[in-house]
Amino acid sequence: MTQHEDTSVQDEHTPLLNTQPEDSSKKSRTPLPKVQIGILTLVQFVTPVSAQSIYPYINQLIRELDITHGDETRVGYYAGLIESMFYVSQACTTLSWSRLSDHIGRKPVILIGLSGLCISMLCFGLSRTFLTLVISRCICGVLNGSSGVMKSMMGELTDATNIAQGFALLPIVWCVGVTVGPFIGGILARPADRWPHLFWGQFWHEYPYFLPCFAITVMVALITVVIALFLKETLPMRKAKTPSPESPEDAQDTSTPDAPLPMRALLIPSILIPIANNGLLAVVEAGYTALLPLFYSSPPSIGGLGFSPAVIGTLLGCFGIIDGIAQILFFAPIVHRLGPTPTFKLAVSFCFPIFALFPIMSWYVARWGVDRVVWSCLVLQLLLQIIKDMAYGCVMMHITSSAPSKRSLGSVNGISQTISATARALGPAIATSIFAASKQYNLLGGNFVYAVMMVLAISLLYLGSWLPDKLPERKN
């Protein structure tokens, strides 16, 4: 008996999957429902747009609030807290939203999440105190159950023959959102300074960061309307069963398989291992995402590059375009050739040169300033990130394939999103706080934070070795 056959009959909690890889190659690939997936990916698009849009100006906003009392090294503490509060509040509620979607449907939960995002962005743009900035991010996190539910819908719109093509779209759309968000935040921030003839009123001086928030609110509102009108529900609803007076137990048993499994039935290694990888990946990714604009905006005297919000937004936006094109061209072919697990390990290994380039640039700028050598390092760092970003799609394929049934897919993604949100809450706080402490106390010459991130990457590489070599085929 083979190893696959042994695991397929272990117990009733083993995912209901056909794990024979040779059978999948003989099946013809099911065409993707392009219209429905295209509409669904709009949810994946607006999430990074709203999150990334604040990065070009968040550090400048903290400075203008004067809560650091002129201490430049403390900007990272407050910026990290604002960036983390969304994920803290999301972690407290996302599992409930995902479990709810297993009962009432995916679409209503997505619409609630997008509505919460609109409210949050408006509040953020109108905030003039640190407390209201934090509250606005919490509003978005509490009401946002759409990220995990969107992945559940993607799993229900695909099958064993086209899951790679479906989930290959997620990092691509994410990269597009990562492109648009910094452009909006960097270009539209402080419009009274950039276009005084158009934005001359007192309002634009009192709320200099309202315009990018308002632009994103309008975008999300339009996407909400499109989803409400055209997105179809994918939850396989449970059919009502009429108990037979002759055999009530049989009637009860026939309705049970359609019900979502209890939570304890999902806490098994085949589900928890990919979820743990996704969580640690989120820590590394969120930490890097928070460090990048902080490193760009910090003055050279403390190891940064001293870039303005407009330069940061343009740089991150241009990278997003390149990243999106690269994911379109290379992600699916690499996954098909190497497999999801080897691709995941390869992507994670690129974290080491990415983090190593930070102290190299700091050392160079302190001596010779920002010149072509620094810009070459920046380009190299962003190009390496293209490979790193492939890890996200790979681990999501593992999580979706681990679900015991479609009716439990929301719960599995809910657990994953809870862990991921918690990790993304910790990532910016850990990274920016250690960054500030590294500079304030000159730990490892101010570069201690990058050593910590490399240790996390090593841990992720080890955890990735526990993933199965091949994706099991889902039972539809």
Is pLDDT at 474 greater than 70 in this prediction?
Answer: no
Which architecture, in CATH terms, is 31-235+267-474?
Up-down Bundle (1.20)
DSSP 148-202: HHHHHHHHHH--TTTHHHHHHHHHHHHHHHHHHHHHHHHHHSSHHHH-TTTS-SH
Measured CA to CA in angstroms, residue 132 lies from 37, 61, 67 at distances of 36, 13, 14
Contact (Cβ atoms closer than 8 angstroms) between residue 452 and residue 265: no
Q: What are the sequence ranges of the domains in the chain? A: 31-235+267-474
Per-residue confidence band for 247, with pLDDT thresholds at 50, 70 and 90: very low
pLDDT of residue 243: 43
Categorize the per-residue pLDDT at 252 as very low, low, confident or very high, splitting at 50, 70 and 90: very low
363 falls in which pLDDT band (50, 70, 90)? very high
Task: Tell me the β-bridge partners of 17.
Answer: 474
| pTM (2 d.p.) | 0.70
pLDDT at 473: 62
Segment (H or E) for 94: helix 75-104
Q: Is there a contact between 140 and 117 (Cβ–Cβ < 8 Å)?
A: yes
Q: Quick one: DSSP state of residue 244?
A: P
Ordered alpha helix ranges (H), 16-74: 21-26, 34-52, 55-65
Alpha carbon distance 75, 58 (integer Å): 9
CA distance 137 to 86: 5
Q: What SS3 state is found at 449?
A: helix
Helix axes 130-143, 55-65, angle to 10 degrees: 140
Position 115 pLDDT exceeds 70? yes
Q: What is the mean pLDDT of residues 207-222?
A: 95
Provide the H-helix boundaries in 298-350. Answer: 309-338, 340-349
> Residue 245 CB: number of other CB atoms within 10 A?
7
Q: Which of 73-87, 137-151, 372-386, 460-474 has the highest mean pLDDT?
A: 372-386
